Amino acid sequence: MLNKKGQVAETTTWIFATLIIIILVLASVFVASILGSFGNKRVASYGSFDLFAKKSLAAFLATPENSGTIYSKINSQGALDNFNGNLAKSIFNGLYSGFYSKGIYLGVYDPSSFITLEKNSYFGTRPSLTVKTEFGQVLNVDGFEDSLNLSKGRVLHIVLAGGYS
């Protein structure tokens, strides 16, 4: 008699335990479905590499200027001049300002100098691809940058900041 009562109690416990498990599982499935529905908006990212900007830079540097190319001119002068500066402005501002909203820069700088924010009359100040927040964190800004070593340790730097919209 006592055993029978114990069996009934144990069976009842299992039945309730099963029901609770099923209820928990159903609730979890429901929550997962709701959370999963946000996933429909996920968009695959292409990354920050911009082949078109890179091609423009290559063609720009290969463009003839005087007896050589723009690359040889910039390499020897260490700075943009009126011809290649305006051409660069026309190309990079004209073609990419719509995609990169936080600044477009092309210029030459000397990494050994202590001046970190270079400026030239064609593109203004070199935008940074990192920003410091009010909490002291350093965040990366979306964008594209590339550089080319020149003579005397100088560097030609292109920065397209603002993310590919």
Partner 1 sequence: MIKLRKNKKGDKILSIYWFLIIFIVSGAVIYMAASFYGAPYDVRMTESRALGDQIANCVTNGGFLNDSVMGAEFQKNFMRYCHLNFSVENSYGWTNKSEYYVGLGIYDYDNGTFNLLGKKEAGISEGNPNLKSTWQISGGGNEQAPSGFLAGIVSSVSNLVSGKRKVDTIVIHTTEGSTASGAIETIANRDLSVHYMIDRNGDIYSSSRPPAQFASAFVPENQPASHAGCGIGSEALTYCSALPASDGCTDKSPVNSNGILDPKCQNLSNPPQSESCCIPGYNANSIGIELVNLGHLCTGLSGGFCKYSVSLGGYKWENFSNSPQQMDSLVNLVADIALRYKIPVDRDHIIGHYQIATRKTDPGPNFPWDKFIAAVKDRENTISVSQQDSQNKNLPQGQLRSFYAIDKSGKQYIVQVLAIVGKTEKNA
The residues that touch partner 1, with contacts defined as CB under 8 A, are 14, 18, 21-22, 25-26, 28-29, 32-33, 35-46, 51-53, 55-64, 86-87, 89-91, 93-99, 101-102, 162, 165
φ and ψ of 21, to 5 deg: -60, -45
Find out whether 96 and 53 touch, Cβ atoms under 8 Å: yes
Least Å from the CB of residue 77 to partner 1: 19
Structure-block tokens of residue 53: 């900007």
Least Å from the CB of residue 151 to partner 1: 20
Complex with partner 1: residue 41 or 152, whichever CB lies closer: 41
Complex with partner 1: residue 36 or 153, whichever CB lies closer: 36
Phi-psi region of 143 (alpha: psi -120 to 50; beta: other; left: phi over 0): left
Whole-number Å distance between alpha carbons of 62 and 72: 9
Find out whether 99 and 164 touch, Cβ atoms under 8 Å: yes
Least Å from the CB of residue 115 to partner 1: 26
- CA angle 148-152-157, nearest 5°? 25
Complex with partner 1: residue 9 or 32, whichever CB lies closer: 32
Amino acid at 93: N
Least Å from the CB of residue 129 to partner 1: 15
59: Cα separation from own chain's centroid: 24
Complex with partner 1: residue 2 or 115, whichever CB lies closer: 2
Least Å from the CB of residue 58 to partner 1: 3
Complex with partner 1: residue 28 or 113, whichever CB lies closer: 28
